Amino acid sequence: MGRSSKDKRDIYYRLAKEEGWRARSAFKLLQLDHEFNLFPGVTRAVDLCAAPGSWSQVLSRKLRGREEEQGERVKIVAVDLQAMAPLPGVTQIQGDITKVSTAQEIIRHFEGQPADLVVCDGAPDVTGLHDVDEYIQAQLLLAVSALFFSIHPLVCGVRLTAIFRGKDVTLLYSQLKIFFTGVTCAKPRSSRNSSIEAFVVCQNYSPPEGYVPNMSNPLLDHSYDVDFNQLEGPNRVIVPFLACGDLSAFDSDRTYPLQLDAGKQYRYTPPTQPPIRPPYEQACHLRKNNLLSREDAPSSRPSQCGDEAQPQAESV
C-alpha cells in the first residue's frame, strides 16, 4: 500500500495533516468544544498525557487568540512522560501525572491559581480484552482525577477525559458526580464507531464540604459490587450519553476518495510533527535494517559422517 492508503481510509488523519494538526485527535477536542462550549473564560488550562501535542495545539490556537478580549495572559501547561516538540504559548512538563511533584510543578506555573480547564486524551496500550482495558483506563482516569483535585482548589472549572465506555462506566459516573454537578459521556464524530472510546465531560466542580485533595487515595476500590449494574428502577444509574456532531460531519469509519473537491488535485501531505522519541523507535529501526528476521534454525538432519565406515589404514 502506498502513502495515500491511510489518507483514503481515515479522512480525519488526512484533514489533520492538511490543516497543520499534529494528530487527528485534534478534531475530537474541537467537536467537543462545539458541543459543550468549553473554552470561553478559560485562562489557565492543563493538557495531561499531551504528546504528541494536538490537544495542546487546539488550546494554544483557541485560547491565545482571546487574550486581548479577556485582558489576562493565558497559561497552558502540557504534561507527558514523553518528550514533545515545542508549541507557542505552551509550557511543557515531562513528568508522571500520578506523582505529587507533578501537581506541585503545575501549581507553581499557575502561581497558586486554580486551573479553569483540564483535558486528557491519554489511554493505556490496549490488550484487546475490553474488561482489562476498561479497568486500566479507569485507573488512569482516577489518577487524572486525583491530580485535578490537587491543582483545582476552588469551586469552578471543567474537566474532559477520555474513557473506555464499558459495562462498569456507571461506577466512574457515580464517583465523578460526587465532585461535579454536571457529568456527561460524549462521543465526537471523529472517534470511530468501532471503538469503545468516549469522553467524559465534567462541569461545575463542586467538591463535598470538608474534602481535602489527596493523590494517594484512589476512588476505585475492590469492594465495588458488580451486581450494581443489574439493578433496575431508581437504584440504577443511567449515564447520560451524547453523540457530538451532526450528520453532515465526516464519518470516521468510512473510506473517502482522495479528491474531495472537483478540480482540486490530491497532494500527499506529510505529518505536521513526527514523534521525537516514540516507544516504537527501536522496533522501527530494527525492521528497517532487516534485523527482525528470524534466524534459520540449525539443521536437524543427522550427520552422515558418523554413519559412514571410517577408512582403515593400510597395513604396510
- Rounded distance between C-alpha atoms, residue 114 and residue 106, angstroms: 10
23-32, 154-163, 246-255: range with lowest mean pLDDT: 154-163
β-pairing verdict for 241-243 and 158-164: unpaired
Query: Mean pLDDT of all residues in the chain?
Result: 76
Q: Which three cell numbers stand for residue 246?
A: 451532526
Domain ranges of the chain: 5-243
* Whether the predicted pLDDT of 273 surpasses 80: yes
> Is 47 labeled as ligand-binding?
no
> Is 121 labeled as ligand-binding?
yes
The CATH superfamily assigned to 5-243 is Vaccinia Virus protein VP39 (3.40.50.150)
203 pLDDT band, cuts 50/70/90, is confident
140-149, 151-160, 187-196, 261-270: range with lowest mean pLDDT: 151-160
Q: Are 171 and 128 in contact (CB under 8 A)?
A: no
* Whether the predicted pLDDT of 277 surpasses 90: no
> Is 221 labeled as ligand-binding?
no
Q: Which three cell numbers stand for residue 97?
A: 501525572
> Is 307 labeled as ligand-binding?
no
3-state SS class at 20: coil
Q: What is the crossing angle of helices 54-64 and 26-36, to 10°?
A: 40
DSSP letter, residue 254: S
> Is 33 labeled as ligand-binding?
no
- Rounded distance between C-alpha atoms, residue 190 and residue 187, angstroms: 8
* Whether the predicted pLDDT of 22 surpasses 70: yes
pTM above 0.75, yes or no: no
β-pairing verdict for 158-164 and 180-187: unpaired
- Rounded distance between C-alpha atoms, residue 170 and residue 212, angstroms: 24
